[in-house]
Amino acid sequence: MTTLLYILGVVLVVAGIVAIVRKQLLWGIVLIVVGLIVGPGLGVAGIGA
């Protein structure tokens, strides 16, 4: 289950970066933040999943 959450987090962060490149700044930031909460970013710090 943890691996699945990490993969989902990485996909969300990549989608956020792509959205920012496509000039959708707000949507990109939201995707990156959600990806960090779900995936390894904040999960390692004990804040996320």
Cα–Cα dist 20/6, whole Å: 21
pTM above 0.85, yes or no: no
Which tens digit of pLDDT belongs to each residue from 1-44?
778 888 898 999 999 999 999 999 999 999 999 998 887 665 55
Task: Check residue 22 and give left, alpha or beta (phi > 0: left; psi -120 to 50: alpha).
Answer: alpha
Q: In what helix (H) or strand (E) does residue 20 lie, and over which residues does it extend?
A: helix 2-21
Q: Are 15 and 39 in contact (CB under 8 A)?
A: no
How many beta carbons lie within 10 A of that of residue 3, not counting itself? Answer: 7
3 state SS of 39: coil
